[in-house]
Structure 1
Amino acid sequence: MSQELIALLMFSSLMLMLMTGQRVFGAIGGIAAIAALALWGTGGSNIPFSAAMKVMKWYPMLTLPMFIFMGYVLSESKIADDLYKMFHVWMGPVNGGLAIGTIGLMVLISAMNGLSVAGMAIGATIALPELLKRGYDKRMVTGVIQAGSSLGILVPPSVVLVLYAMIARQPVGQLWLAGVMPGLMMALLFILYIAIRCKIQPQLGPALADDNRDITMSEKLGLLSAGLLPLGIFFAMMFPFIKGWTSLVESSAIGAMTAFMAAVVKRRMNWKVFETSVRQTLAISCMFMWIILAALGFGAVFDGLGAVKAIEHLFTEQLGLDPWTILILMQLSFLLMGTFLDDTAMLVIVAPLYVPLVKILGFDLIWYGVLYTITTQIAYMTPPFGYNLFLMRAMAPPQIGLKDIYASIIPFVGIMVLALALLMIFPQIAMWLPNYVYGK
């Protein structure tokens, strides 16, 4: 049996397993184990053992529970709520101001947690009811929250980029820094769209009524200081890392401890908040560990097969495709898979094939990591079966139907496609900051 046929059989079996509703790590790890035993007999049992040792020896993996704990402490202790109150007071008098403030909220939530689901949950529970109550168009605000939450896996500390770093064997710090400028660029494009649209159609995002603006400057400044606390925690964590004073793991510990102390000082840390944060941290960290273990085993089988070389030969020599055409086809495949898989599942399924292929084609793996994150976010924000669409449907109030959710995302997906195109045309948008910090 040829290498191409074995690779095709493995991928088709994997997709079939996922369609039956199996857990991602079980499907990926099971296919890898069966393929290893079929190809190499009992000697193939060394593959999962080797993958487990790689996970255990990868020191930056310790950042995962630290950042997840930090995000849950800030969310469960309601410190994140202060952010919206700040944006509500400072941005409300402008047409579309609360929607613009919600994008700012999402950027800060991303900097606190690193998971897009967290931004979606906070936006849907805190911002969405307030925006609807103040007369904002339901399709506008639904799109704002979905688009803003997409920044969660791009702005550091992105948990998904940590997983990519593990699988692609790239430095986490450089990947995080590479995500900063594209993430801020997308946030700025979202804000410009909201501002221009609400300027043309003020009824979509009305300014706050005069009787809601009656607040003193001292109260405004108080809310400003409370709202900027999470941003202060983020800088307390990232500044020493960027300056080279601490390692990545040490900075993650600083972030977790600073968030915990902030909750204690504000008298919002109690046993329920602590228990929920620890339980959620343990559950998500274990899930990611199993997924990485399965992905490394799957990748090891592909390395042993030489399937990457075979597929590269098929694309470049037999089909005669140039590297950019192959890269665009790879991104389109993410858009297709995103209709029924989340970003983590897509990464662990295709990374064993795509990451080595990207390297062979001569592209930078740090830059490609940012392309991957943006493309997958576009993928599961698009109908008919986008992952984010159904998350929003589960969290939205009854007056927002699935048709509204589908329609709301169209302009924001267009903006994200524009951002992706700019990043492909001008790679330095992503690479300038890591090159500057690391002196390349």
Structure 2
Amino acid sequence: MSYELIALMMFSGMMLLLLTGQRVFAVIGFVGAASALLLWGDGSAELSFASAMKLMKWYPMLTLPLFVFMGYMLAESRIADDLYKMFHVWMGPVRGGLALGTVMLMVVISAINGLSVAGMAVGATIALPELLRRNADKVMVTGVIQAGSTLGILLPPSVVLVLYGMIARQPVGHLWMAGVFPGLLMAVIFGLYIVIRCWLQPNLCPPLTKEERASYTWGDKFALLRAGLIPLVIFVTMTGLFLTGVTSLVESSAVGALSSIVAVVVRGRFTWKILHETVKKTLGISCMFMWILLAALCFGAVFDGLGAVKSIEHLFVGELGMDRWVILIMMQVTFLILGAFLDDTAMLVIVAPLFIPLAGSLGFDLVWYGVLYTITCQVAYLTPPFGYNLFLMRSMAPPEITLPDIYRSVVPFVGLMVLTLIIIGVFPEIATWLPHYYYGN
């Protein structure tokens, strides 16, 4: 049996097992371990052990629980509420300002957490009820929250880019800096869409009334500004120490986690219940990532041993004569299809052994490709019928927001994300300039 056929059988078997509803890490790990055992006999039993040891020795892995802890600490202590109140008061007088403030909230939440789930939870529980109470269009604001929450996997400290860096063996610092301008570009595009649409249709998101604006003095506004800037101070401190070389990546994440505790204590909101909930959620997320990465390393080792990447490259480039850009587009379309059924981590793990080496062998910058992958994941999050964020929103939204409303709400934002993807694809310097400039100097 040829190695190409074995690789095809591995992928087919993995997809069939996923359809049974089994855990992603269990399916990937089982297929990898079973294939190794059948191919190379008892000696391959060390493969999974070696993968586990490689994971345990991966020093950057310590960043994951620390960043997740920081985000959950600020969310559980409701410091994120202060942040939304600040945007609500300062942006409210502008037509469409409440929706625009929600996008800005998502940008800051992304900058302190790095996960889409956290942004969605804050937006759905804090911003959405307030927007609906002020007669904002339910379809539009639902789309704003879903699209804005996806920024968490692109802006630093993106946990997804950390995972990509570990699997693709690319520097996390380069990936974080590569995600800054694309993430801000997408946020600006969202903001322009909201401003233009609300200017043409003022009833979609009415501004605060004169009475509401008059109820806040300048002293109140500046008090809210001080409270809302706490997460921003934490983010600037954490990333500033890392980018200036004072701390390593892991030390920077530790600074962020410790700063979040100090901020909660200073605000007088620290309780053992908050600490317990934060630690419990951090442990759950961290263990999930650990198991998935362990399975990915095992599966990837078997795939590398088969030489499947070289075979597929020869098939596409040599025998079929495809242009490398056509292959790249096919890879991104595959991500979109998988994203209708899986989350970003599962997608990365399933196709990483094939797509990342293939992109490198075709001459693409793997840091730039990591940004493309992440944006494609953002699109896949919102793609019906089974987009990850669609069902998260359905579980958190009030009863008056139906599933058809949620589906309709994401259509313009999916188009804006695809536009951003095309812009980054055509002008890769948007992603690559900052890391090259900073680390080059």
TM-score by shorter chain over 0.5:
yes
For residue 2 of structure 2, what is the amino acid of its counterpart?
S
Q: Indicate whether 1:35 and 2:35 are aligned.
A: yes
For residue 150 of structure 2, what is the amino acid of its counterpart?
S
1:202-241 matches, cutoff 5 A: 202-214=202-214, 215-241=216-242
Q: Distance in 1 between matches of 2:279 and 2:97?
A: 35
User: What is the match of residue 84 of structure 2?
Assistant: 84
Deviations 1:295-339 (A, max 9, x none): 011000000001111111110011110111000000000111111
| Deviant stretches of 4+, over 4 Å | none
Q: Distance in 2 between matches of 1:34 and 1:263?
A: 48
Q: Indicate whether 1:409 and 2:410 are aligned.
A: yes
User: What is the match of residue 174 of structure 2?
Assistant: 174
Cα distance, 1:412 vs structure 2: 0.5
Q: TM-score, normalised by structure 1?
A: 0.99
Deviations 1:35-78 (A, max 9, x none): 00010011111211111121111111111111011001000000
For residue 299 of structure 1, what is the amino acid of its counterpart?
G
Deviations 1:133-176 (A, max 9, x none): 00110010000000000101001111111111111111111111
CA contact (8 A) 1:340 1:380 kept: no
Q: Indicate whether 1:120 and 2:129 are aligned.
A: no
Q: Distance in 1 between matches of 2:5 and 2:399?
A: 48
Structure 1, gaps ≥5 residues long? none
CA contact (8 A) 1:67 1:255 kept: yes
Structure 2, gaps ≥5 residues long? none
> How many residue pairs get matched?
440
User: What is the match of residue 108 of structure 1?
Assistant: 108
Q: Distance in 1 between matches of 2:428 and 2:401?
A: 38
Cα distance, 1:380 vs structure 2: 2.4
Q: Distance in 1 between matches of 2:381 and 2:248?
A: 33
CA contact (8 A) 2:150 2:381 kept: no
CA contact (8 A) 2:131 2:141 kept: yes
Cα distance, 1:237 vs structure 2: 0.4
User: What is the match of residue 340 of structure 2?
Assistant: 339
Q: Distance in 2 between matches of 1:169 and 1:260?
A: 32
Counterpart secondary structure, 2:440: coil
User: What is the match of residue 311 of structure 1?
Assistant: 312
Q: TM-score, normalised by structure 2?
A: 0.99
For residue 286 of structure 2, what is the amino acid of its counterpart?
S
Counterpart secondary structure, 2:94: coil
User: What is the match of residue 439 of structure 2?
Assistant: 438
Q: Distance in 1 between matches of 2:87 and 2:159?
A: 26
Deviations 1:259-291 (A, max 9, x none): 100101111110000011111111111110111
Cα distance, 1:386 vs structure 2: 1.1
CA contact (8 A) 1:178 1:434 kept: yes
User: What is the match of residue 374 of structure 2?
Assistant: 373
1:18-33 matches, cutoff 5 A: 18-33=18-33
Deviations 1:115-137 (A, max 9, x none): 00110011000000000000110
User: What is the match of residue 138 of structure 1?
Assistant: 138
Q: Distance in 2 between matches of 1:181 and 1:98?
A: 24
Counterpart secondary structure, 2:21: coil
CA contact (8 A) 2:83 2:229 kept: yes
Counterpart secondary structure, 1:267: coil
Deviations 1:329-369 (A, max 9, x none): 00000111111111000000000000110110000111101
User: What is the match of residue 325 of structure 1?
Assistant: 326
For residue 82 of structure 1, what is the amino acid of its counterpart?
D
Cα distance, 1:437 vs structure 2: 1.4
State, as a whole percentage, how many aligned pairs show the same letter: 68
